[in-house]
Amino acid sequence: MLRDGTGPGGSQKIQPLPFCSAECSTMNDEKPMVFIVDDDARVREALSNLMTSVGLRVTAFGLATAFLASEKPDAPACLVLDVKLPDINGLELQRELAVIEAPPIVFITGYGDIPSSVKAIKAGAVEFLSKPIVAEELLRAVDAAIALDRTARQKRSELAELQTRYNRLTPREREVLPFVVAGFANKVTAADLGTSEITIGVHRGQIMRKMAARSLAELVRMADKLGVGGPGPG
């Protein structure tokens, strides 16, 4: 379990830790969560105790399918995942989670091998640790994983806000936007789109206002994040 003796001395059976309810999630959205998936109850208990001792929320599961079926609170998170599980292999679960917005993974295993560790790391795992786990190593890995997830969540939030602003633009304003971010003068844009220079100026002002861009440079950065490039061939 834990090499420094952090885990419990006995083998007392424990119930899986309850998942945070909707009310709990609302009150503690930004308090990080650690998900533990391991079929050994003693390991789940030891790791849960370790995480709670440093102020992290924990939910533990004995099966990968139980983790997949559980409600996930809206908070930075990390998944501590055993490689050998009764239902779904940890590496297989990693592949399933790769297509959704899942938290970063720290693998733990009592049967580690170099090919598995290389495969896990190449697929994006933060760390691959062998049992018995060194508490300090696991905590460092979990901290790094939560930091990565917090950054990813912030980027997704910013992109969602930009998309909301972009959706407020009229179809015509969306036509004009690529010309603006490409640095075209209003006169050139007007000629290309078959309208007046004054009209393009009005559209340009509306785009800046609706996108909440304080400068052209900021609008260019926003467009880049949204994947809006310059105008195509006319």
| Tens digits of residue pLDDT in 94-109 | 999 998 889 999 999 9
Instruction: Locate the domains of the chain by residue range.
Output: 22-158, 168-226
Topology of domain 168-226, per CATH? Arc Repressor Mutant, subunit A (1.10.10)
Segments of the chain assigned E as strands: 33-37, 57-61, 77-82, 105-109, 127-130
| Integer Cα distance of 81 and 84 in angstroms | 9
With CA atoms as reference, report the closest residue to 3 among 109, 198, 134, 151.
134
| Digit-coded pLDDT (tens) for 51-101 | 999 999 999 999 999 999 998 888 999 999 999 999 999 999 999 999 888
User: What CATH homologous superfamily does 22-158 map to?
Assistant: Response regulator (3.40.50.2300)
Angle at Cα 107 formed by Cα 106 and Cα 109, nearest 5°?
150
CB 2 within 8 A of CB 133: yes
pTM (two decimals): 0.74
Give kind and range of the element (H or E) at residue 3. Answer: none
CB 72 within 8 A of CB 32: no
Over 60: is that where the pLDDT of 14 sits?
Answer: no
Tell me whether the CATH fold assigned to 22-158 matches the one assigned to 168-226: no
| Digit-coded pLDDT (tens) for 21-42 | 333 333 345 789 999 999 999 9
Coil, strand or helix at 132: coil
The mean predicted confidence, pLDDT, of the chain is 87
| Digit-coded pLDDT (tens) for 129-139 | 998 899 999 99
